[in-house]
Amino acid sequence: MITTSIKRRTLLGAGLAGASMLAMPSVLRAQDKSLKVGVYGGYFKTSFDKNIFPEFTKATGIAVESIAEPTGEAWLVQLEQAARAGQAPADVSMMSQVAMLKGQSTQLWTPIDMAKIKNGSNLLDRFVNKYPDGRVAGIGAVSWYITLVTNTDVYKEAPTSWAAFWDPANADKLGLLALVSNSFLLEVTAKTFFGGTNALDTEEGILKVFDKLAEVKPNVRLWYRDEAQFEQSLKSGEIPMGQYYHDVTGLAAADGNPVRSTFPKEGGIQDSGCWALSRASQKSEEAHVFIDYMCQPSIQATLSRKVGTSPTVKREVTDLTDKEFAAVSSDIEPIVPRYDLYQSKSDWLNQKWTELIVG
CATH number at residue 353: 3.40.190.10
Residue 299 φ then ψ, to 5°: -75, -40
| pLDDT band at residue 359 using 50, 70 and 90 as cut-offs | confident
**Mean predicted confidence (pLDDT) in 25-35:** 59
- My answer on whether 121 and 169 are in the same domain is no
pLDDT in tens, 245-300: 999 999 899 999 999 999 999 999 999 999 999 999 999 999 999 999 999 999 99
- My answer on whether 16 and 100 are in the same domain is yes
> Which has the closest alpha carbon to 53: 30, 17, 21?
21
Phi-psi region of 267 (alpha: psi -120 to 50; beta: other; left: phi over 0): left
- My answer on whether 101 and 179 are in the same domain is no
pLDDT in tens, 210-257: 999 999 999 999 999 989 999 999 999 999 999 999 999 998 999 999
- My answer on whether 121 and 152 are in the same domain is no
How, if at all, do strands 63-69 and 174-177 pair?
unpaired
Cα–Cα distance for residue pair 184/144, rounded to 1 Å = 13
> Which has the closest alpha carbon to 35: 77, 6, 67?
67
- My answer on whether 250 and 279 are in the same domain is no
* Torsion (CA) 92, 1, 157, 220 in degrees, nearest 10: -60
- My answer on whether 135 and 216 are in the same domain is no
How many structural domains does the chain have? Answer: 2
Angle between helices 203-214 and 346-353 (to 10 degrees): 30
- The DSSP code for 112 is B
> Per DSSP, which regions of the chain are E strands?
34-40, 63-69, 92-96, 128-130, 136-151, 174-177, 220-224, 241-245, 259-262, 269-277
- My answer on whether 196 and 265 are in the same domain is yes
- My answer on whether 218 and 347 are in the same domain is yes
DSSP 3-state of 110: coil
Cα–Cα distance for residue pair 169/199, rounded to 1 Å = 27
The residue segments making up the domain with residue 182 are: 145-269+335-358
Q: How far is CA 320 from the centre of its chain?
A: 20
> Which has the closest alpha carbon to 165: 215, 225, 232?
215
- My answer on whether 260 and 124 are in the same domain is no
CB 239 within 8 A of CB 161: no
- My answer on whether 234 and 284 are in the same domain is no
- My answer on whether 179 and 59 are in the same domain is no
CB 44 within 8 A of CB 14: no
pLDDT at 153: 98
Cα–Cα distance for residue pair 248/264, rounded to 1 Å = 17
- My answer on whether 139 and 284 are in the same domain is yes
Instruction: Name the CA radius of gyration of the chain, rounded.
Output: 20
pLDDT in tens, 78-91: 999 999 999 999 99
Full-model pTM: 0.87
